[in-house]
Structure formats: C-alpha cells, structure tokens
A = this chain, B = another copy of it.
Amino acid sequence: MATHLEIHVREIPKGTLSREHFSEQQVETPAPGPGEVLVRTLWLSIDAANRAWMQGATYREAVTAGNFMHGYALGEVAAVGDGTAGHQVGDYVMGELGWREFAVMRADRLIPVGAARPLSHHLSVLGIAGQTAYMGLYSQGQPTGDGQVMVVSAAAGSVGYIAGQIGKIHGCRVVGIAGGPEKCDWLTGEMGFDAAVDYKAGNLYKDLAAACPEGVDLYFDNVGGPTLETVLFQMRNFGHITCCGAVSQYDTDSPAGVRGIPGLLVVKRLTMRGFVYMDHAAELNDRSIADLSSWIASGQLKVVEDVVEGLTSAPDGLIGLLAGNNRGKRLVRVGSE
C-alpha cells in the first residue's frame, strides 16, 4: 500500500505556536470512493488565518488536535472514483486539501483551476490573498482615490502588498506599516508605496504622523491590536477602516482590547467594517480576476511569492509568517508540477 506524508496538529497551542504543536505522519494513501477524487498536492497556501482557525470556530470549523492541519491548496487529480464527472486525471484543482501530500476529497469540494499561469498565481494574486485585497476595498466602496491617504498594515504581507498597490493604481497616497527597515525600503522601492513606517522602530505614532501629516482617510487593517489603536487616533473625520484581519491577535490566548473604540468612531464619524472575501465572490469574482490580471499584464501590479520548499517546512513556514518573516504571499511547494 502506498503511503504519503501529512502534517498533523499534535496539540492546540495555548500561547505562541511552535514546531512541537505539529507532528509528521506517514499514512496510507486511500483510493477515492464514489463521488471522490484523489488529489496530489502541488502548492499549499500559508495564511495567518490558519493560526486563527486554532482559536475556535470562526467563519469555518475550528482546527482540532489529532487531525491533519487544515489549509487551502492546489493540486493535480491523481485518481477519480465513480460519479465525479468533470474531474479528470491530470486536471488542476483547488480546495481545502490540508497539509497533506495526497488528499481524498469529495469531488464537489474542489474547484477547477483557471487558465492563468504560473499555477501558483491561483493561490496568491488571483487566489484568496489577491481577491481579499481587491474585494476588501471594492466591496466597501474604497478607495475613492483623489489623493486619499491610505494606510495598510502588514503591508509587506500577502494581502497588504496587493492592497497597497491597488490603492496606488486608484490614485491614493499609500503608506505601508511593516516590520523592519528592509521591508520598508522594499515597499517604497520596488512596490512603489509613497512611504513606509517601521512599527518595530518603536515610534509608530510619531512616525506615522510624520508620514501622514494630514491624517488617514482609509486604513486597510490586517493586524488589529496596538497598531489599529495608533492609526485610529490619526484617522481623519469620516474616514473608513476596512477590517481584513487581526494577525497581531491570532498567536495568543489573551487578545488585547482596543482603546478609543467607540469614542473615536463617534467623534471622527468613522466607519469600521469587517469582511470575509467569499461573501463578495459571487458579485465581484469575475471583475476581480479580470482587473488583477490586466494590472499584472500592464506591470502596474507586481506579484511576489515567498516560496518554502517541501511539506515538512510548512510548520516553520506558518510560524515564520506569524513572526512576519514573509514578503508577499507565502506558499509551500509540496509536489513538483
């Protein structure tokens, strides 16, 4: 019987996630039953949300100990069972394959991969990360452009670096918040941001005020916590905060409170809105793929993928992502195309 590697969750972390919360398991590769497909994983998406899933049920079921780690991935159909019309051996598909070299999936839980290449784009700029940036902005009527000042946190991350570039395309003045001078230089250099602020330098309030002397109109928040609090105090009246994520609060058991809520929302007449990209997929998917693809083609949107090699590197890939080690979209190359 053939076997394959899976990464399992040995224990749900109480505090910070570490290597010992995972285990490697060599398991038998099952054959697909009726309505099922066997998929060989090629690319695994590493997302901060993976850690949030360990905190309990959110917009999806929680990740629990004793099972393979959940994750979104792209693979190639290796075998099909009965009644799986539409899936052929060799087709590329995406779905919640998990941290597994092979996965048997219900055929209706897989979606076909579009024509764009490289394949990895379907997990990065044309996948959840890119679409989250796009839909987070457009589903909320933002940006409006016209010199609007847009701030993006986790700006060198998979969603942030795209959200910021979309802001630039729409005529915003875009300021990124990121950790460390290298990321900041990269944002203002290669990524074309107007300014970048290094939150690790320890003067976020002052440095952000210097970068945004007239305040902030639009804040695309990926981190929550103290950064959100700092930006809140620098929002302009009638500003908008797009709540995309709260990565500063995922890798802990004691999330922080945000001061200034709701007082500053009232005084400054701010709107804060949370979203999950899939709510807008039906409405915006085609437009999103078309716009993102055309911006890539024209060179207005740069695509950055941060590739980690091999499934056994996935735990470190996630741990490092939570520590801010990635630049652009982090992917694990699990199998060769």
Q: Assess whether A230 is interfacial by the CB under 8 Å rule.
A: no
Task: Given the known inter-chain contacts A257-B256, A274-B270, please indicate yes or no for A228 contacting B262, CB distance below 8 A.
Answer: yes
Q: Assess whether A145 is interfacial by the CB under 8 Å rule.
A: no
Distance in angstroms from A204 CB to nearest chain B CB is: 17
Q: Is the CB of B224 within 8 A of A262?
A: yes
Nearest opposing residue in chain B for A223, CB measure: B262
Contact with B along A267-298 (1 / 0, CB 8 A): 11111111110010000000000000000000
Contact with B along A242-262 (1 / 0, CB 8 A): 011110010000011111111
Nearest opposing residue in chain B for A272, CB measure: B272
Chain B contacts of A273 at CB under 8 A?
265, 269-272
Chain B contacts of A217 at CB under 8 A?
none
Q: How many residues of A contact B (CB 8 A)?
A: 36
Q: Is the CB of A276 within 8 A of B269?
A: yes
Most buried by B among A259, A262, A269: A262
Task: Given the known inter-chain contacts A258-B258, A261-B258, please indicate yes or no for A266 contacting B279, CB distance below 8 A.
Answer: no
Q: Is the CB of B256 within 8 A of A264?
A: no
Copies in the assembly, this chain: 2
Nearest opposing residue in chain B for A255, CB measure: B259
Q: Is the CB of B269 within 8 A of A271?
A: no
Q: Assess whether A336 is interfacial by the CB under 8 Å rule.
A: no
Chain B contacts of A59 at CB under 8 A?
267
Instruction: Give the complex CA separation of A264 and B224 in angstroms.
Output: 11
Most buried by B among A229, A258, A268: A258
Q: Is the CB of B274 within 8 A of A269?
A: yes
Distance in angstroms from A322 CB to nearest chain B CB is: 15
- List A residues 144-194 near B (Cβ within 8 Å): none
Nearest opposing residue in chain B for A140, CB measure: B271
Distance in angstroms from A142 CB to nearest chain B CB is: 13
Q: Is the CB of B275 within 8 A of A269?
A: yes
Question: Which residue from B221, B258, B271, B274 sits with its C-beta under 8 Å from A268?
Answer: B274
Chain B contacts of A246 at CB under 8 A?
262-263, 266
Distance in angstroms from A336 CB to nearest chain B CB is: 35
Distance in angstroms from A56 CB to nearest chain B CB is: 10
Task: Given the known inter-chain contacts A271-B271, A271-B272, A272-B271, please indicate yes or no for A245 contacting B258, CB distance below 8 A.
Answer: no
Distance in angstroms from A289 CB to nearest chain B CB is: 22
Question: Which residue from B221, B266, B274 sits with its C-beta under 8 Å from A264?
Answer: B274
Chain B contacts of A263 at CB under 8 A?
52, 224, 246, 249, 255
Pairs across A and B, CB under 8 Å, 10 listed:
A245-B266, A257-B258, A258-B258, A262-B272, A265-B272, A267-B274, A270-B274, A271-B271, A271-B272, A271-B273
Residues of A at under 8 Å CB distance from B?
A: 52, 58-59, 221, 224, 228-229, 241, 243-246, 249, 255-276, 279
- CB-CB nearest 7 A-B residue pairs: A257-B257, A265-B274, A266-B274, A243-B262, A257-B259, A243-B265, A258-B261
